[in-house]
Structure 1
Amino acid sequence: MQWKNLFTPVANLSVAEARAFMDQRSTGDYELLDVRQPNEYQPTHIPGRRLIPLGELPARLGELDRRKPVIAYCAVGGRSKAAAQYLAGQGFSEVYNLAGGIKVWDGGKVGGALEAGLELLPVEAEFGDALQLAFAMEEGSQHFYQHLEAAAATDELRHLFNRLAGFEERHKARLASLFKEKEGRELDAALAAATVGIMEGGGRLADQVAALPGGPDQITAVLDFAMALETQAYDLYGRLVLHSKNESAKSLFIGLMDEERTHLGFLSRELEGLLSRR
């Protein structure tokens, strides 16, 4: 790393500024770069983002798209400032440092290894394979919400879970239509049925039901839990973007990330409305 690059001025973004920056753009239109070490990443990270430890950045510069804005973050902002300055010195035209790092980030966070869930899709998989996996994961999530709807103690909860299951049904219909358009045949529903236990985020349906906090009649706990699941899904789709070598599959997962972000917004508004009525 060239020392002169460490004196290149870069802009700092507050958490609010960074969130506004990302909310105004599609997920695929910017890079949020984690420059911490893998053992820092695994316990907690901002979902769906690229991990390149600061010490590896010069050798892995080619993994980043110079045409996209980059927001670098680390634990408290020191390493990410150095990373942002280095990138600016290497000709990246729009680079920012997340001031305060993940320590001050009050948005969604997830845990898990970088490789978690990637075994679901071989790196050389074709677009059709990616579509079938996405369909199966949407199917698993739909079954989860239908399970909660059946167990719900109030009409308010039943309506909420029915609406969430409907989101997944519409996604499945779009994926099935896209599969037929691209592959010239119907999507293999039998394969989806065989893998229905897989949910968005790569978790298993039975495990998620068993882990549900407070029971299905606790709406605040359930909303929190649903937001955690959607955040995990966003994170997995983001890592699949980086994992896949098929450009069409990458575009598919970027689109799914944007849809998960929409789901998170809906759940956040539902939770805020619930809390305001208390």
Structure 2
Amino acid sequence: MELFTGKESVEESLVVAFGLEGGLKDFYLSMEKKSPVETARSLFTQLAKIETVHQGKLVDLYNELTGSRASQEDFSESIVSPALEGGMTTQEYLSRFNPDLSSIIDIVSMAMGIEAQALDLYQRASGKVKDKKARQALQQIADEERTHLQYLADYLDQNAS
């Protein structure tokens, strides 16, 4: 929660969220390289692409709310320190979840845990922030995290055996 003090503007909130999505994308790409199984590597690639799409939506939301024409590159330059959604480092996530990187169930369970923590982060931040536009933006981001969770649940239903 130290990333969201409650004093952020909508612009600052969206830049922080963009950085968190980028951190998670980088995490998934690093896990892709570590996984010994092609289906698991493919899943990590797919999860990274979802985070890239979410970053694009954040830039679009930023432009819509501010009247700007920022690009993803502009946002990337604004990020001070990328972090993972949920606030843990890559090693902390691996230690906490201890996933079998060849198991689709373990990978999806870990991803669902990360997305649930992100949902919680954005919901708590939206309740804390004073700026009305920032609050609405953070609530919209939380809704996206719910969508990610549903996607992962559906993926697990279709692919776990």
Kindly state the Cα deviation for residue 246 of structure 1 after the two structures are TM-superposed: 0.9
- Alignment check: 8 A CA contact 2:40 2:107 kept: no
Candidates 166, 171, 189, aligned match of 2:76: 189
Percentage identity across aligned positions? 29
Alignment partner of 1:129 is 2:12 = yes
- Measured in 2, the distance between the counterparts of 1:214 and 1:205 equals 12
The corresponding residue for 2:57 is 174
Instruction: Map residues 70-81 of structure 1 onto 2, 5 A cutoff.
Output: none
Shift of 1:213: 1.5
User: What is the alpha-carbon distance in structure 2 between the residues aligned to residue 183 and residue 195 of structure 1?
Assistant: 26
Q: Structure 1 stretches (4+) deviating beyond 4 angstroms?
A: none
Structure 1: which amino acid aligns with 2:81?
Answer: T
Displacement of 1:214: 3.5
CA contact (8 A) 1:128 1:183 kept: no
Q: Please, which runs of 5 or more residues in structure 2 have no aligned partner?
A: none
Flag the structure with higher helix content: 2
1:209/1:183 CA distance change after superposition, 3 Å: farther
Question: How far did residue 239 of structure 1 move?
Answer: 0.4
- SS at structure 2 position matched to 1:271: helix
- Structure that is richer in strand per residue: 1
Asked if 1:230 corresponds to 2:115, the answer is: yes
Question: Structure 1 regions of 5+ residues with no counterpart?
Answer: 1-116
Higher relative contact order structure (alpha carbons within 8 Å, sequence separation ≥ 6): 2
Aligned equivalent of 1:269:
154
Please, what TM-score do these two structures have when normalized by structure 1?
Answer: 0.52
CA RMSD in angstroms, aligned pairs only: 1.9
1:141 aligns with 24
Query: Residue 207 of structure 1 aligns to which amino acid in structure 2?
Result: E
Output one character per residue of 1:62-90: Cα deviation in whole Å (capped at 9) or x when no partner: xxxxxxxxxxxxxxxxxxxxxxxxxxxxx
